[in-house]
Amino acid sequence: MSIFSRKAKVSQEQADTDIFNKETEGLSQGQIVRKRFFRHRGAMVSLLVLFSLVIFVFSTLGFKIFGIGFRGWWKYQITDIPSLRTDGCSVELPGCPTLDLLPGKNFGLGDHPFGQDDLGRDYFALVMRGAERSIEVTVVIGLVAGFMGTVIGAIAGFYRGWVDAILMRLNDFIITIPTIIIAAVIGFHFGNKGVLFLAIFIGLFIWGGLSRLVRGEFLTLREREFVDAARVAGASNRRIIFKHILPNAIGVIIVSITLLMSSAILLEAALSYLGFGVVAPDVSLGLLISQYQDSFMTRPWLFWYPGLLIILIALCINFIGDGMRDAFDPRQRRRISRKDRAAERHQVVKK
């Protein structure tokens, strides 16, 4: 009843540990991690949602890769200016959204699911293009920063000494300038060179936290017996780093890259909002919000959809990251439910 009451009893904790140990018997590290991750319901749902969202977004308008173009299934492009839809909307507000998720006559996407902007451009196309850009930026920032952070942290932690000192001072320089400041400086001056360039450049400056983590992990792992054994067996430094230490540090790296990506999508949105990110002829979710925030009172749909999409993507990435952290953390134990306990007792009785 009170705030301080405690449910679990000590004996039950012991029993739970037994159940837990039995479940992971005879499995490799990778299998345990995978099993734990698949069991994390939030992470699995998020993974599914994010995966379908990415496919949906990229197939809508089509894209071009290595010179081969793929046509999208949506009828409008962001440059099309169809006439404003008036039927079904109030007179002062033409171009209202046609998306209807309730079963009935109008169920489905309709002609302009997210409505039209004041010019008549199809907002669904704009939002999808914005989401494409945001996802690209996020992935590129994650990859570049992840690569930089891992390599620099690994080298610093493995070689120690003056290499470590120099790299970590460089790290300090970058970490002390707030991310948004350095990103804004980069974004403002290089934003016109294209989204990809912007993302790579930002990625080059936000690996500070990750490299510290990786370095710490390497510092502990390099002292372990298996590294000594590998060295005695004549393995080269490169082999030790890539084959022996890195696989053991991969959990930390993947988790932080995931969390880095979820902050990268918000960073991109914030930069575009401030005008230091993606610039006008191109589209991004942050830019759409910034362009249409004043129409919230008159055409609310111009404001709602890009924001909801950002939240959805960031939320999914966060949940996936959480699931990975739980899966990789050996101290983390899943919740043993009443059903598991009952099954365990049943087995004991049968024996």
Asked whether position 4 contacts other proteins by CB under 8 A, the answer is yes
Of 52-60, 63-71, 123-131, 283-291, which part binds other proteins (CB under 8 A)? 283-291
| Identity of the amino acid at 298 | T
Give the start-end residues of each E strand in the chain.
62-65, 68-71
Residue pair 95/120 in contact by the 8 Å Cβ criterion: yes
Asked whether position 190 contacts other proteins by CB under 8 A, the answer is yes
| Subset of residues 33 to 62 that bind other proteins, contact rule: CB under 8 A | 42
Q: Which of 182, 200, 235, 250 binds other proteins (CB under 8 A)?
A: 182
Residue pair 269/285 in contact by the 8 Å Cβ criterion: yes
Q: Is 148 or 184 the residue whose CB approaches other proteins more closely?
A: 184
Minimum separation from the CB atom of position 297 to other proteins (A) = 7
Residue pair 302/292 in contact by the 8 Å Cβ criterion: yes
Q: Which of 19, 53, 180, 219 binds other proteins (CB under 8 A)?
A: 180
Minimum separation from the CB atom of position 304 to other proteins (A) = 9
| Identity of the amino acid at 148 | M
Q: Is 173 or 242 the residue whose CB approaches other proteins more closely?
A: 173
* Among 91, 69, 95, 92, residue whose Cα is nearest residue 81: 95
| Number of Cβ within a 10 Å radius of residue 90 | 8
In whole angstroms, give the CA distance from residue 346 to residue 339: 10
Asked whether position 67 contacts other proteins by CB under 8 A, the answer is no
| Subset of residues 150 to 179 that bind other proteins, contact rule: CB under 8 A | 169-170, 172-174, 176-178
Asked whether position 5 contacts other proteins by CB under 8 A, the answer is yes
Q: Which helix (H) or strand (E) holds 154?
A: helix 123-159
| Subset of residues 262 to 281 that bind other proteins, contact rule: CB under 8 A | 262, 266, 269-270, 273-276
| Subset of residues 243 to 262 that bind other proteins, contact rule: CB under 8 A | 262
DSSP 192: G
Q: Is 149 or 209 the residue whose CB approaches other proteins more closely?
A: 209
Distances (CA, A) of 136 to 261, 315, 343: 11, 17, 46
| Subset of residues 290 to 319 that bind other proteins, contact rule: CB under 8 A | 290, 293, 296-297, 303, 307, 310-311, 314-315, 318-319
Greatest Cα pair distance in the chain: 81
Report residue 287: phi and psi, to 5°: -65, -40
- Rounded (5°) CA angle 208-211-214: 155
Minimum separation from the CB atom of position 98 to other proteins (A) = 23
In whole angstroms, give the CA distance from residue 70 to residue 286: 26
Minimum separation from the CB atom of position 333 to other proteins (A) = 10
Q: Which of 7, 238, 338, 351 binds other proteins (CB under 8 A)?
A: 7
| Number of Cβ within a 10 Å radius of residue 175 | 16
Q: How many residues bind other proteins (CB under 8 A)?
A: 49
The contact set with other proteins (CB under 8 A) reads 1-7, 42, 169-170, 172-174, 176-178, 180-182, 184-186, 188-190, 262, 266, 269-270, 273-276, 286, 289-290, 293, 296-297, 303, 307, 310-311, 314-315, 318-319, 322, 335
